[in-house]
């Protein structure tokens, strides 16, 4: 089956998280892999499903009041989307990578990021596991510390890319973020094209640009209302 490439959309944090969740749980053909690159209407931060909102706001400090905050359907820490290149990938459950251990799928997708960045002379590598410091108390800010198999800059050691994952009976949702300032000057349109091809190669599928399903906007709007609610954002 092809890898469906959906067109770029820009939306609120709640709508972006809703769209990613719907790509996992309610895509019309769950046997097809699908992915998208997306953007943000205003400065946004997302945080992992299990994080406590009080700790998130403490980590963000005064910036919290000025940001579009939303709890993700995936795990992980705090992700600042003010200067990142964001994407979501859903792999069907019967695909080998969709059924693989979390560490295996994490490494495989990030290797595709590394290979694509290397094509534009960005010296990206995977973070080796033995060099990772232990986590501090509270939710970590994603780009402050690299975890095993995160993408880092080979020269500076700065973190370039991280991600969060969620598995369900419908497949694996992979939400990824790439720090554009750390990457430096590259052609991001070229990156999108070559990353699409790298994902297709990884999944051993053909790449197929496709329209958004119908009636997608209505579904996203309905779920985004829940994701923007105080009950969802402050549920922990």
pLDDT tens across 11-22, in order?
999 999 999 999
With a cut of 70, say whether residue 49 has pLDDT above it. Answer: yes
Q: What are the structure tokens assigned to 194, written together?
A: 């070559």
Task: Select the more confidently predicted residue: 135 or 63.
Answer: 63
Tens digits of residue pLDDT in 127-176? 998 755 554 555 567 677 899 999 999 999 999 999 999 999 999 999 99
Angle, vertex CA 197, rays to CA 195 and CA 202, nearest 5: 90
Q: Which domains does the chain have, with CATH numbers?
A: 3-233 (3.30.930.10)
pTM of the model: 0.94
- 151 touches 124 (CB < 8 A): yes
User: What is the residue-averaged pLDDT of the chain?
Assistant: 94
Catalogue the long-range contacts made by 133-139 (C-beta closer than 8 Å, 24 or more residues apart). Answer: 138/55, 138/58, 138/59, 139/47, 139/48, 139/51, 139/52, 139/55, 139/56, 139/59, 139/77, 139/78
Query: What are 92's two structure tokens?
Result: 């069907």
- How many other β-carbons are positioned within 10 Å of the β-carbon of residue 97? 18
Average pLDDT over residues 172-197: 98
Q: Cα(204)–Cα(202) distance, rounded to whole angstroms? A: 5
Calculate helix-pair angle for 216-227, 13-25, nearest 10 degrees.
120
And the tokens for 11? 């939306």
Tokens encoding 37: 């690159």
pLDDT at 145: 86
Section 42-49 average pLDDT: 97
Mean pLDDT of 20-36: 97
């Amino acid at each position: 089956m092809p890898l469906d490439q959906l067109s770029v959309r820009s939306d609120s944090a709640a709508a972006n998280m809703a769209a990613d969740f719907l790509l996992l749980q309610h895509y019309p053909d769950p046997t097809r892999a699908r992915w998208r690159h997306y953007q943000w209407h205003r400065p946004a931060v997302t945080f992992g499903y299990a994080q406590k909102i009080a700790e998130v706001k403490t980590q963000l400090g005064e910036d919290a009041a000025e940001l579009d905050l939303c709890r993700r359907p995936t795990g992980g820490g705090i992700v600042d989307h003010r200067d990142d290149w964001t994407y979501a990938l859903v792999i069907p459950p019967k695909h080998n990578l969709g059924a693989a251990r979390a560490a295996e799928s994490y490494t495989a997708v990030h290797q595709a990021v590394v290979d694509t960045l290397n094509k534009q002379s960005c010296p990206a590598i995977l973070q080796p596991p033995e060099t990772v410091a232990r986590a501090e108390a509270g939710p970590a800010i994603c780009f402050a510390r690299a975890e095993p198999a995160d993408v880092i800059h080979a020269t500076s050691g700065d973190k370039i890319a991280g991600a969060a994952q969620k598995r369900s009976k419908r497949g694996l949702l992979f939400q990824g973020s790439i720090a554009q300032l750390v990457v430096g000057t590259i052609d991001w349109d070229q990156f999108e094209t070559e990353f699409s091809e790298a994902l297709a190669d990884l999944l051993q599928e053909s790449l197929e640009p496709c329209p958004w399903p119908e009636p997608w906007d209505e579904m996203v709007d309905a779920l985004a209302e829940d994701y923007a609610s105080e009950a969802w954002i402050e549920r922990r």
